[in-house]
Every structure is written in structure tokens, then in C-alpha cells.
Amino acid sequence: MPVQTVTAAARPWIRPVPFLPSCTGSGTGSGNLQSRSAQKRFAAWWIFATSKTIYGQIFKDEGYFSSIDPLARIKVAENTWDLGEYLLELYDAGVFVLPRTAVQKRLVYFAPCHQREQEIGTPYAKLVDRITGSRLEIIDGRFYCCGMAGIMGFKKEFRENSVQMGRPLFEKIRELDPEVLVTDCLSCRLQFQQHLPYPVRHPIEILREVLK
């Protein structure tokens, strides 16, 4: 999973902030482990399962963070933020200020599936909605999906199913007819660019434009 991070070591005045630019797999069946509470329960179970039991011989953690103790992983997770979460926290504290702008744009925002599974809300949407002059419409509904379904939409044999899965969302977006379509997920962005006529931007690009 690609992660871009600004760490406290590199910038003493900032807390660790990860930016997860791609889908984290909720479409492939692992979405129930995306929320922090689920990760904590899973870590507690993992300590038991990989201790001196037969489960330790069956379940093997050989992933990127396998060398880190499960309890240490929980501590890291509790002190890790999505970039949108962090910026919204700074905004609410009056540290991060969005300038007033006269730009009138009709924006439509889609929160990707993995973000909904992480249960962090929609911090980027809240930030973009605070840009003076913009009109933001949020597409809500747990059954809306761009069709990428994790990595499945990148497979040739899944293409037709992927398009069919995303069609209700495409139709909803066409109905709203935005000037700019906004989403956090780069997989969704690829799908939208192939099937819709609207420019697609990551929320951080929208914020960057008004901060220039």
C-alpha cells in the first residue's frame, strides 16, 4: 500500500500524517479491517493466534509491518492521521486558514469505499465546503461504487463487470452535472476519467488552487 508520510522527525512541528492515495482493498473483502476499532480487535486476536498455539503455524504475518509488535502497531495507528483529517483539525483550531475566493464552482464530491470503511467521516468534503463561493454536492449512499472494487477493476476479465457496477454512480454524477468532480481515490479517478466528461480532481488539488 503506497503511503506518503510527513514525520515528526522530518518536521518537528507536525505530527505523522499519512496520505493514502489508492484504494485499500475494501472491494476485495478486507474492508471490515479498515476501521481503527476493527484493527485493534484484530491486533488483540493476532497476539493470541500467533502465540504458542497451532494458529501460529497456520496464520503467518509476512507483510510490510510484520516486524513491528501488534501493540506497537496500535500505538502507531492511534497517532496517525489521514491528511484530510489533520488539515480539518488544524482548520478547526484556527491554524489552517482558507482564503476568501470569488471563484464560483459547482463541485460534486464522492467519498471512496475504503474511506467509508475507515469510518473517519468526510474531512476533505468539510474543508472544500468551507471554500467561499463553491457549491458542494456530496454523493451519499453505501451502495455507490466506482466499480474498481480494489484491484479487480484493473483486470481485463473484470472490465465489463466493473463498468456495470459503477453505472449507477456514473448516472448519479451525470444527473448532478458538476463543473468539477472531486474524489480522494485515484482508482475512482481513473474510472471517472474513462466514463465521464467532467474534470476530476483530488480534494488537495482544490485546496491548492485556492491557496495559490
Q: For residue 189, is it within any domain?
A: yes
How far apart, in whole angstroms, are the C-alpha atoms of residue 18 and residue 6? 7
- Number of domain units in the chain: 1
Q: Are 73 and 43 in contact (CB under 8 A)?
A: yes
Pair 24, 34: CB distance under 8 Å: yes
Domain CATH code at residue 165: 3.40.50
Cβ distance 79 to 15 under 8 Å?
Answer: yes
Grid coordinates of 104:
464560483
Q: What angle do CA 58, 155, 149 make, to 5 degrees?
A: 70
pLDDT of residue 38: 63
| C-alpha cell at position 171 | 448516472
**Predicted local confidence at residue 76, as pLDDT:** 80
- Torsion over CA of 114, 116, 121 and 127, rounded to 10 degrees? 60
Report d(CA 91, CA 35) in Å as an integer.
24
Task: Say if 110 falls within a structural domain.
Answer: yes
Considering the domain boundaries, does residue 4 fall inside one?
no
Domain region containing 194: 83-211
Taking the C-alpha atoms of residue 148 and residue 101, their distance in angstroms, rounded to an integer, is 35
**Is 16 inside a domain boundary?**
no
Residue 71 lies in a domain: no
pTM above 0.85, yes or no: no
Helix (H), strand (E) at residue 103? none
93 within domain boundaries:
yes
Q: What residues of the chain score a pLDDT lower than 50?
A: 1-33, 52, 54-55, 57-58
CA end-to-end distance (rounded Å), the chain: 30
CA–CA distance from 32 to each of 43, 71, 118, 119 (Å)?
A: 13, 19, 9, 11
Alpha helices in the chain (DSSP H): 36-49, 55-58, 70-78, 83-92, 113-118, 123-129, 159-176, 186-195, 203-211
What is the pLDDT, as a whole number, of residue 156?
84
- DSSP type of residue 54: T
Task: Give me 136's grid cell.
Answer: 458542494
Domain assignment present for residue 108? The answer is yes
pLDDT at site 110: 93
